[in-house]
Amino acid sequence: MSIVPGEHGVQNSVSQSGIEIVKCQQCKLVFQPRSDSVTASDYRNAPNRDYDSLQAVSDVIQGMKRLKPTGKLLDVGCGRGEFLARIQEEGYDATGLEPDVTGCDIVSEQLGLKVIHGYYSKELFSENSFDVHTYIQLLEHCADPLNMLRASFHHLRPGGLLVITVPS
């Protein structure tokens, strides 16, 4: 199920830069709805990929290590696997999930990391499968972020860690 304006009390808004933002009137979550005209390859080929910044990734990893030093991790929307490779080096048993076939090929063939091709849903994994879930610069692009978060809580083990980064 995707959330669209008019369903579930969602209201439209357009920022000064022309980007559409919506707010759920039930849970108050504010997000950017997914556009069918934008694909994963558009993000992969974008020239300004500032989420790759070494400092930003290092900050996320340091915070994770303080709260959950090791464990089984799922990186939802792993892209080309930059974060996945770094977190694997830190000792996590990391798996990526990526809807873009080219991204999956890069992660599995060039980096030699575990990756699953597809979109995230509750049905993909059994309950309590992971210690850590990461959404690195992803959640703002999801059509139904609330259901994705619900699925994460279903898949996280008790005491698990959910890590979300979004653009500032």
> What angle is formed at CA 105 by the lines to CA 100 and CA 109, rounded to 5 degrees?
160
Structure confidence at residue 66 (pLDDT):
92
Structure confidence at residue 5 (pLDDT):
45
- Using one digit for the tens of pLDDT, what is the confidence trace for 82-107? 999 999 999 999 999 999 999 999 99
Structure confidence at residue 69 (pLDDT):
94
Structure confidence at residue 59 (pLDDT):
84
Give just the sign of the alpha carbon dihedral 71, 78, 125, 1: positive
- Using one digit for the tens of pLDDT, what is the confidence trace for 92-147? 999 999 999 999 999 999 999 999 999 999 999 999 999 999 999 888 888 888 99
Of residues 58 and 44, the one with the higher pLDDT is 58
pLDDT over 70 at 16, yes or no: no
Percent of the chain topping pLDDT 70: 70
Structure confidence at residue 142 (pLDDT):
84
CATH of 37-44+51-165, one of 1.10.3720.10, 2.60.40.1120, 3.40.50.150, 3.40.50.300: 3.40.50.150
Structure confidence at residue 37 (pLDDT):
45
Structure confidence at residue 24 (pLDDT):
73
Strands 30-31 and 156-165: unpaired
Structure confidence at residue 34 (pLDDT):
57
Q: Are 96 and 59 in contact (CB under 8 A)?
A: no
Helix 54-67 and helix 82-89, axial crossing angle in degrees, nearest 10: 40
Band the pLDDT of 25: cuts 50, 70, 90.
Answer: confident
Supply 70's token pair: 């090791």
pLDDT over 60 at 38, yes or no: no
The whole-model pTM stands at 0.72
User: What's the rounded Cα separation, in Å, for the pair 118 and 50?
Assistant: 24
Instruction: Mean pLDDT check: name the lowest of 29-33, 63-67, 69-73, 123-127.
Output: 29-33
Write out the chain in H/E/C secondary structure: CCCCCCCCCEEEEECCCCCEEEEECCCCCEECCCCCCCCHHHHHCCCCCHHHCHHHHHHHHHHHHHHCCCCEEEEECCCCCHHHHHHHHCCCEEEEEECCHHHHHHHHHHCCCEEEECCCCHHHCCCCCEEEEEEECCHHHCCCHHHHHHHHHHHEEEEEEEEEECCC
Q: Which residues touch 155 (CB under 8 Å, ≥6 apart)?
A: 74, 122, 125, 126, 127, 128, 129, 130, 133
Supply 114's token pair: 């575990």
Residues carrying CATH 3.40.50.150, the chain: 37-44+51-165
